[in-house]
């Protein structure tokens, strides 16, 4: 039974911002974790003496989480970010809980509501649209 949903992400390990899946309802909803550590390479220069996870990488983590809900075998790119809001910085030691829910879709475009939180407090949310660039085996 050993299919690991994280293996479906096309990102190399150095650019993967999802560490673990907590819940997965295929095609509908996923909850994932990202552990932020001082050893994360992107924190070394952002900012020296006051490290925090760049907002763009927090969005990337939310988009990667949403990508776990795409049809197996498909590839997609980020097409749109709407209504992104950042509530507080994410710093080393934080465990970011990321939730993605699939909304509607039209053709190759898929809309998701994504949220990130730390210790029950919201840190970011957005609506993102992913465009499938290579359909799953067998078509649509």
SS (H, E, C) 39-53: CCHHHCCCCCCCCCC
H helices within the chain, ranges in order?
A: 55-67
d(CA 69, CA 30): 7
Is 46 annotated as catalytic? yes
Residue 126: both structure tokens together = 């957005």
Q: Given the residues 3, 11, 46, 110, select the one marked as catalytic.
A: 46
Residues belonging to the active site? 46
């Amino acid at each position: 039974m050993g299919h690991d949903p994280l293996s479906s992400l096309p990102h190399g390990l150095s650019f993967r911002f999802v560490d673990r899946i907590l819940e997965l309802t295929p095609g509908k909803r996923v909850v994932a974790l990202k552990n932020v550590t001082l050893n994360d390479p992107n924190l070394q220069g952002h900012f020296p003496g006051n490290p925090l996870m760049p907002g763009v990488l927090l969005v990337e983590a939310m988009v990667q989480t949403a990508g776990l809900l795409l049809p197996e075998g498909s590839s997609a790119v980020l097409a749109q970010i709407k209504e992104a809001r950042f509530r507080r910085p994410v710093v080393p030691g934080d465990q970011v809980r990321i939730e993605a829910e699939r909304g509607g879709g039209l053709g190759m475009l898929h809309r998701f509501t994504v949220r990130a939180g730390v210790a029950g407090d919201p840190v970011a949310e957005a609506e993102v649209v992913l465009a499938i660039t290579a359909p799953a085996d067998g078509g649509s």
